[in-house]
Amino acid sequence: MFLGVRRRFGLELREEDLSRGAYGKPFVKDRPDIQFNISHSGCWAVCALGTAPLGIDVQEHRPLHRQERLEEKILNEREREFCQRLPEEERRKFFYSRWARLEAWAKGTGRGLSGGFRRPEGTGSCQEIFLEEGVSCVLWTEVPVRAEVKFLPEHKEMKGAEE
């Protein structure tokens, strides 16, 4: 995040430049024009930067204990019915996609999930970002934007991707 802020905004941030909102969302003090959010899951870490409120979430798909119980909290009735008809792998993909959407919205609005698994409401835009099979990544923004994905060289080497 510090590297991204330096590259995009030309600002050298220090830890003391950061603070947290009422629900724990970090922000840059005295710079409402710099918005960021971070998420990690498995070997993935993602960071979103922008000038309007945003949230990002990444979820590596893995088998879950009590997935049905989580589906009841996260999915609405129509989504649960749809999800239950899917083969196991597709069901997991659908569930994690919806989970990532909820988390990205909760983080982007600064509300977090402290109030429970409420459904996203109001304005905003969600974009799914493809990273690789078995991973869901969603960016929520207050205003629609075109997402730009950049990979750090260390991540490319770790994942075995070519330059």
* CA distance linking residue 131 with residue 151, whole number of Å: 10
Domains and CATH numbers, the chain: 2-159 (3.90.470.20)
Q: What is the DSSP string of 67-111?
A: HHHHHHHHS-HHHHHHHHTS-HHHHHHHHHHHHHHHHHHHHHHT-
Q: Enter the pTM of the model.
A: 0.85
User: How distant, in Å, are the alpha carbons of 21, 36, 160 from that of 54?
Assistant: 14, 7, 29
Asked if residue 40 lies in contact with residue 46, where contact means CB atoms within 8 angstroms, the answer is yes
Contact between 64 and 73 under an 8 Å Cβ cutoff? The reply is no
pLDDT tens digits, one per residue of 143-155: 888 777 777 665 4
H or E segment and range at residue 58: strand 54-60
Write down the pLDDT at residue 157.
41
Residue 114 pLDDT: 64
The pLDDT profile of the chain, 163 residues, written as one tens digit per residue, is 999 999 999 999 999 999 998 888 899 999 999 999 999 999 999 999 999 999 999 999 998 778 888 888 888 899 999 999 999 899 999 999 999 999 999 999 887 776 666 666 667 899 999 999 999 999 999 988 877 777 766 544 444 333 3
pLDDT computed for residue 67 by the predictor: 82
pLDDT in tens, 45-73: 999 999 999 999 999 999 877 888 888 88
